[in-house]
Structure 1
């Protein structure tokens, strides 16, 4: 029964969020301006056919007073009260779950316990072992590994990311003749093999 009332409270809280969205829609559709729009005005603006069918019924005098408050308050207040009062806190825990929770807690605090035990055993000051720059097993790399393998005059040609750093060198007619093989300078060779 406690779980059912919690779920009813959860459903009422969801309806409260829907009612607040409907209130925003009613404001956008031109309902009366105000900070708190009654639920009946929201119903009239969002679903006029439903409002007309409900307003002509025998329960309308009672519903009219109930719908005088905003919908988010009408559904939200009882929903949150039910959720808070009937949530599943303080119940009995299964022993297997309790052991699982205890194992998880022990794993979380294992490092703290190990460091406290190390301090008790005298391992207090080990020096700065985070960055051992003078460790005997570290051999520095030879100096030629830090040198740039590309000569400075070849660097603009090999800069593939940014391109040449200066204006591109102009090609001579002899270089174009060598590249195309037709002696035509900047004119590309004709594409005769594609025609006909």
Structure 2
């Protein structure tokens, strides 16, 4: 995020009442359940939990989130929200983060998601094969093309819409408050 975007975000956030900021997680969950694609992805990735991960497993909503997260990710994907491609790649390739650990690893699906991500950003596809044979690699490329056509209407994007991967960020020792100055964060 550029410094100008950070400043614009801070200005917008200063207008948000404190009581509303405190209910941000609640509204994220509501927006996800109402069908807003970005909210579905953010909810699936656990953005409503503390950024440092503390208390997630004992959160009263954890079991509900655990059931809903994979479905929300899939729905955001099928709604054509482009950032889902990299999240699907991570989920099928690893267990990095709570959401990814809920989705069974599948190298072919992971490679397809990686190819899709490259297509969405109009970049050259991945060069690694993930140890898959030529037939599986071809199926992954074909699946990525099918997803790109069916869910994204062959569109391309200049960058990820959300800007960064929440689940791939290292945990900090303190939670980052909603609408906080990024420069002042640890």
User: Which TM-score applies when normalising by structure 2?
Assistant: 0.22
User: Which TM-score applies when normalising by structure 1?
Assistant: 0.21
> Rg bigger for which structure?
1
